[in-house]
Structure formats: structure tokens, C-alpha cells
Structure 1
Amino acid sequence: MSRYPLAAIWNQSVGLALALDMAQPAQYRFVYHPATRQFFLAYDLALVKDTARFPSRAEFRLVCFRFDPHWGFRAALQKFYDLFPQQFVKRVWREGVWMPFTDIAKVPGFADFGFAFQEGAPNVAFDDQHDIASFVYVEPMSYWIALPSEVPRTYAAAMQVLTNDLGGARSAEQQAMAAATFNSGIHTSDGNFSLYLVKAPWCDGGVFTLNPDPDLPVTDTLQFTKASVMHRDIAAAFQRNAPAHTNQPHAGLDGVYLDSLEMSAAQLNYRREHFRTAAVPLVFDREARPAQLMIFNTWEFARDIAAQMHRDGQLMFANAVLWNYAFPAPLLDVLGTEVNWLPRGEYLPDSDAVMNFRRALCFQKPYCLLMNTDYEKFTSERVERYFQRCLFYGVWPGFFDQDAASKDPYWASTKRWYDRDRALFKKYIPLFQRITAAGWHPITLATCDNAQLWLERYGTFGQGAGYLTVFNNTTQPQEGVIVLSDANKTVSVTRSVKELLSDTPLEQQGSGWKIRLEPESVALLEWSP
């Protein structure tokens, strides 16, 4: 499947793009064949009678449009936003850092860190007092089953534990999840449930892959699906955290957090009884057997919850999103993922291609990172490099835990890593707040005579302050001259330009401004109104 929901070709006189309507996803591929000069969008669809909504049919929507070739793919992106504005609505009232699980009230001097989004909602009243959005946690596509230590780690033994749980052998919650697993568990090509035996810090046993389709039916003996369990838990969390004073803005829970959104995304579900309620066209495997692609089932659940949340003025937050799939993004208001930029002790940030994909599909919505690494080796110097790279893309930097394995949680560690890095937060968070409030735009309205200096734009230069972030991704110092322009004319050079990290004005050179950047460093330029 193609990563982006659009593709574009252009020459000096015209640009042509094909794009998917992300409100109606399917398995798709964009192709350009230079030898035959063919540019097309291909869908891979399996047609079966079992799909009750569209028996032996498949529906899809696409658009073909022209765009200004002067700005290339960036202009195609802007036209895409213009064609589907409802898919890029920014609903959050403020942006900031993502806090996973830890009660923000327990972080001394918490205001220094710019928290805006709380995963897990441990202290909703505190979050309300400090304008922090809190989210109830669910993971749509999984059931992590804890197995007793004496139980063999085999498929048959795990299924027997699940059967015993269905009969009430353990807790009521495990009984409900057993019913949900028998109802919602996906099947592999051999007809077995999809089960991965694992010993994780949070579960010693296994994980079943479940279909969270909200339309899967229940039976008299199996009275839960994964979707119905999550609906129950979400409703209970909102009721439990209902504010006493309803006139307080954003009081109570602010939305739903979907963990691990792309988990099991590429798995195939061969369980034909699940085909009946499918809302997305089926795919096929190499033997031409029809199946459901799991990311589409997760998308169906996210769409269902998003409709409820947005109707009620609430928000959607998801983790592990915008790695490989674009179409969930329109359903979400806060997007993010966990990363480790220090594998095996080597500093390896996410690629420009990955960061561009995230920024492009969010448009002006917030995207947040959680750094899961060895914080002793991820020194203050590396933290600043992390902050600088994130600043270039307007992506919020954050922290969680070493290897996400309860080894050394950044915000709860006795080593108080946040105190070591507090000065960096105080330096950079106000800069993030400036540019994200101004809003990212794909068309930079600027060029640089050195291609090694990358540019991104925030805000408009016509009204209010305008910003450019400039990044040197090389291992050598780079110099260049930046010129602001549109397709026809150069913007006035009479406006003052300041580099905000150093708080120094830029030297004018001809019709532009001269800049020099050290290796892997960023500049933030502000054009005053």
C-alpha cells in the first residue's frame, strides 16, 4: 500500500495529482511508469458475497486535480487540503507535550514542561485546573492474556485458559474478555486464532489479535465483542470523571486515547463470519484468498468513536500512528508515536521522509513524540539535538520510559531526568508554542541557494508574524542566502528578521538574508508584522 494518500507529477507548466478520499479507504497503490508515461491509482480488491454492505462489490473514491507546478509536491498537498478541509480540522484548544500515565501533579515545577495532553487520565481534576486535556486509554486490536506460571506456553494451553475464563474461572473482567476474544478474535489462514506468546513487562502470557469492528454481533453465550468492551469502559470513564460544575470549559475527560494504532496493521483476518459487517473492501493474499486487512478494522472502530467524540465536542488521540498508513489521520486530533533515537548507543533520528509524512498528514494538528531510550546515554547534548530536530518540523518532543519496558520512566525516575533537562524545556517550549500557534504551511514561500539548508514555514508573511525553521542535516557547517518569494515576486526585504534561538537579527544580503548553521542544528527565523 502506498504511504501517502496522494501522488503528483509536474513539469514547468503544469502539475497533475491523483488522491484518495481518506474517508473511504481501500488497499491502494499509486504508480508512475516513466517509459509508458502512465500515471495511475490501482486498487487491490476482493469481491465476495459475504460482505453484506456491498455483496460482490467494492466502493472507493478518488480525485484527479491540477496544481501550480512552481512549488511541486508542496502545492499538491495544499490543493489536497483545500479539496478535503473537513479531514484536516484542528480541534485542540492548545498544544504541548504528551504525558504518558504519570500524574502531572507529581512532577515538581510541572509548568516548565509545557504539558498539554495526558494519556491515561490519572488526575482529571488537576488536569482541568491547568488546561491539560486528559484521555481515557484503550488498545483496540488486542487482548493481552496473562497465563498462570504453570501453564505451558503453547497455543492449546492458552486456548484452554481462555475457555476456562469464559466459564468464570478467574475474574469477571477476564470472563468478559474471553467472550470478546471468541467473538472478535481474527483467524489465520489455517483457521486458528491469531495468538502470539510473549513475556512482556506488562503481561506474561500472550496477545490475541482482535477485530474491533463495532458492528460485530454478540450471542446469548458470547455477550461481548472487543468493541463493546471498549465502549463500556469509555462510557464508565466519562461517567466516573464527570465534572461537578458543567460550566467549566473542557471539564472532565477530554477524549479517547487509542494505543498502538498500527499494531497488527498488516495482519490478515480470514474469519469469514467477520466479512459480513465489513465497511471497507476486502483484500486478497498471494493465493487469491479473500481476507480483511487489520488496519481497516481498527479504522472502523476509530471512526465510530471519533463520530461520538466529535459530536460531543471531545477529542481523539492515538499512538503509533503515521508510520505506514495515512487514512486514520482525519479521525484524530492529537497524533503521536514512541521512538528510540539511540539504538545500540548510536544517535539515529527518524528520517526526513518519515517526519515529512507525519507533518503532511497532520497539516496543522499536533504530532507528539515520546523518546524511549537509555536517558543516561541520551545526554543533555542529545536532548537538545532532539528538540532542535523536532522544532524544525513543529513536532512536540516528549519522553516515556527506557525501551517502554518500565525500566526507567523519565517522569517518575528517582534520577529525575527532567531536572537535568528542565532548562532545555524552558528554552524550547515557548518556541514550539509560537510556531504551532502560527500553523505549518506546506508552501514555504522561501528558497535558499544552498540545498543542504532545509526550510519549513509557519504562519503567514502577509498578516502577523511569519516564521521559517531552517535545518542543517549534514555533518558540516552550511551557509546560504534565504529569499522570501511567491511565484511572481519577492516579498519586501524591509521587514526585520530575527533568529529567535540566538535572539540576533539576520544580515541582509541582496534581496535575502544570510544564514550560517552548525551541523545538525536549527534556526528559527521570525519576520515581524
Structure 2
Amino acid sequence: SGLENPEDFGLAYNEMVTKDSVAADHRLGYINFSYTEPWGWWGWAIGLRPKEDDPKPTHEEMMAILNERAADEEALATKTRSPAHAAHTILNSGVYDKEGKLRLRRGYVAKWGGYNWCLNASPYAVEEGKLSRCQATYEWEIEPKLALGADGIYLDSVVNSWSAAPNYRPDHLARSHHPLTFASLDPTPTQLGVWHHYEFIAHLSEDLHGRGKLLMANIFPYNWVFFNHLLDVMGHETWGADNLDKMRAERTLAYHKPYTWLMQ
């Protein structure tokens, strides 16, 4: 960045990873993390760039676009990242709602491609031979950045709108490594999002630590109780002064590890 004398600010981490940024960070003693948000794909991943005043597509229209992208055989034949490959990760790793439809996370943001697909990033969720979100995360986001010398990986948005979303997809349920659950008023078996999150984070944590790397997360209340033991650096965005009791709980559950708040 253009920040003059960055050493004056007590900085510790950087989330941008390039060959030059890694070298610069290491000269200053900073720890360098590479970004990923494997719980979903915004519409940009399949090539969507809507304007702010464009009408929001229906679920049926989104599915038509998704299937059209996935059918691009020419792009798939290149074996390099493309909207067609991303479409297949959504079709294979997508979370189902109770009606058997691919789940879209609430909230529409045109500049990020519109809607965000809810995905199961567990390394066990998708049968071998099909492109999964886990595989794509490693091949497109994790390995290239570690090869540049990044010190670790930064997981964004460990947040309830994903971790509390139930997954009713039968093939995912069959491959879950954690017990299924059900709602108090509905006996239908489901996989709570926190458990396929856990399967990915536990896998990544063990992998990174085995390579001498670190894992950081933007982790929101009250996901700490599931994941803190797998992480090296924790914290989350905040838009104001949080409740003191909650901040004390966050600090306590982090134990001796760094806990940071990012004021937006």
C-alpha cells in the first residue's frame, strides 16, 4: 500500500498475498494470510456482473444461468478456472433447502454478482471425480498463495447466516462425518451448517499446521465454541462498541491466542 512508515502503527497481519507483498511483510515482521470464503460463491464466480438498477433474478432464473454456465464444454475442457468450473462446484457442493432447491444466502449485492450460493466445503461432501468447493478452494485459492510464501490462510465470514443454515441434501447427509440433527418442530434429518464448516476447518487446520502454517478467521458470535481450538488468530468485524460481556467472552474463549476486532 501507499502507507508511509507502516512500522509506526503496530500492525501484525496482512491479508493481501502477492510475491512482492509477502517479501515486504516479512521485512517488517508481519504475518501474511491469504483470503478465502469457502462457504459460498457470489454471482461473480459464474460471470455475473449485474448493474445496481437491474431487476433481481428469481431462483428459477438463477438456476437457468447456473445450468447454462455448467454446460460450457469448451470452458470445461481447458482445465483452468472458469465460470463453468465454478458452476460445477455449486451444483456439486450446493446446500439444499427443505424443498430440495439450492439455497441462496439472503441478501443481494449487485457489485459482488448478486446472490451468494450456500455451499458445503467439507472435503467429504462430494463424491470423488466431481469438482467440489473444497477442491476448488485448494486449487484456486490456497495452494497458489502458499506457493508465494504466505504464512497462512484467512477464513472470512464464519457467521450464523451460513453456519446455522440446515442442509437437506441427501448425498451430503450420507457423507457427513458428524451426526445429523433436526429442528424442534420438524423431525426431518438435516446437516446443520456448523458441522460441514467444522469438517472443512478441521481438515484445513491440520493440513496447515502440518506445513508450519497458520489459520486465521473472521469468526462471529457465537461460532467461537465450535472452532476456536482449530484457529491461531481470531476476531471479527464490528460496526460499533460491542457489549462488554460479549467481548470478555470472546477474549476468554480465545485463551492465549490473539483476538482482534475490526472496526468498519
TM range (shorter): 0.7 to 0.9
Deviations 1:227-265 (A, max 9, x none): 1111112112222x1xxxxxxxxxx21011100012411
Tell me the equivalent position of 1:234.
142
Tell me the equivalent position of 1:188.
97
Q: Does 1:300 align with 2:199?
A: yes
Tell me the equivalent position of 1:143.
41
The verdict on how the C-alpha distance between 1:169 and 1:144 changes in structure 2, with shifts beyond 3 A counting, is farther
Equivalences for residues 4-403 of structure 1 within 5 A? 103=1, 106-122=2-18, 123-146=21-44, 147=48, 149=50, 153-168=57-72, 172-196=81-105, 198-200=107-109, 202-218=111-127, 223-232=130-139, 233-239=141-147, 241=148, 252-262=149-159, 263-285=161-183, 286-341=185-240, 349-372=241-264
CA shift at 1:177, angstroms?
Answer: 1.2
Query: SS state of the match for residue 327, structure 1?
Result: helix
Preserved CA contact (<8 Å) 1:321 1:335: no
Q: What code does the residue aligned with 2:16 have?
A: G
Distance 2:111 2:127 in 1: 29
The verdict on how the C-alpha distance between 1:148 and 1:366 changes in structure 2, with shifts beyond 3 A counting, is closer
CA shift at 1:141, angstroms?
Answer: 0.6
Distance 2:74 2:219 in 1: 32
For structure 1, the 5+ residue unaligned runs are 1-102, 242-251, 342-348, 373-529
The verdict on how the C-alpha distance between 1:190 and 1:235 changes in structure 2, with shifts beyond 3 A counting, is same
CA shift at 1:323, angstroms?
Answer: 3.2
Deviations 1:59-115 (A, max 9, x none): xxxxxxxxxxxxxxxxxxxxxxxxxxxxxxxxxxxxxxxxxxxx4xx2112111111
Q: What code does the residue aligned with 2:9 have?
A: F
Distance 2:234 2:242 in 1: 16
Query: SS state of the match for residue 264, structure 1?
Result: helix
Q: What code does the residue aligned with 2:136 have?
A: V
Preserved CA contact (<8 Å) 1:322 1:357: no
Distance 2:74 2:105 in 1: 21
What is the number of equivalent residue pairs in this alignment? 248
Preserved CA contact (<8 Å) 1:165 1:175: yes
Query: SS state of the match for residue 12, structure 2?
Result: strand
CA shift at 1:356, angstroms?
Answer: 1.4
For structure 2, the 5+ residue unaligned runs are 76-80
Query: SS state of the match for residue 175, structure 2?
Result: coil
Distance 1:180 1:152 in 2: 23
CA shift at 1:121, angstroms?
Answer: 2.0
Query: SS state of the match for residue 368, structure 1?
Result: strand
TM-score, normalised to structure 2, is 0.87
Comparing both structures, which one devotes a greater share of its residues to strand? 1
Preserved CA contact (<8 Å) 1:153 1:197: no
Query: SS state of the match for residue 309, structure 1?
Result: helix
Deviations 1:305-360 (A, max 9, x none): 1001111111000003443441200000000100011xxxxxxx211221111111
Tell me the equivalent position of 2:78.
none
Comparing both structures, which one devotes a greater share of its residues to helix? 2
Distance 1:312 1:148 in 2: 37
Deviations 1:5-63 (A, max 9, x none): xxxxxxxxxxxxxxxxxxxxxxxxxxxxxxxxxxxxxxxxxxxxxxxxxxxxxxxxxxx
CA shift at 1:196, angstroms?
Answer: 3.8
Q: What code does the residue aligned with 2:247 have?
A: M
Preserved CA contact (<8 Å) 1:195 1:208: yes
The verdict on how the C-alpha distance between 1:364 and 1:255 changes in structure 2, with shifts beyond 3 A counting, is same
Tell me the equivalent position of 1:452.
none
Distance 2:242 2:106 in 1: 30
Larger radius of gyration: 1
Q: What code does the residue aligned with 2:227 have?
A: P
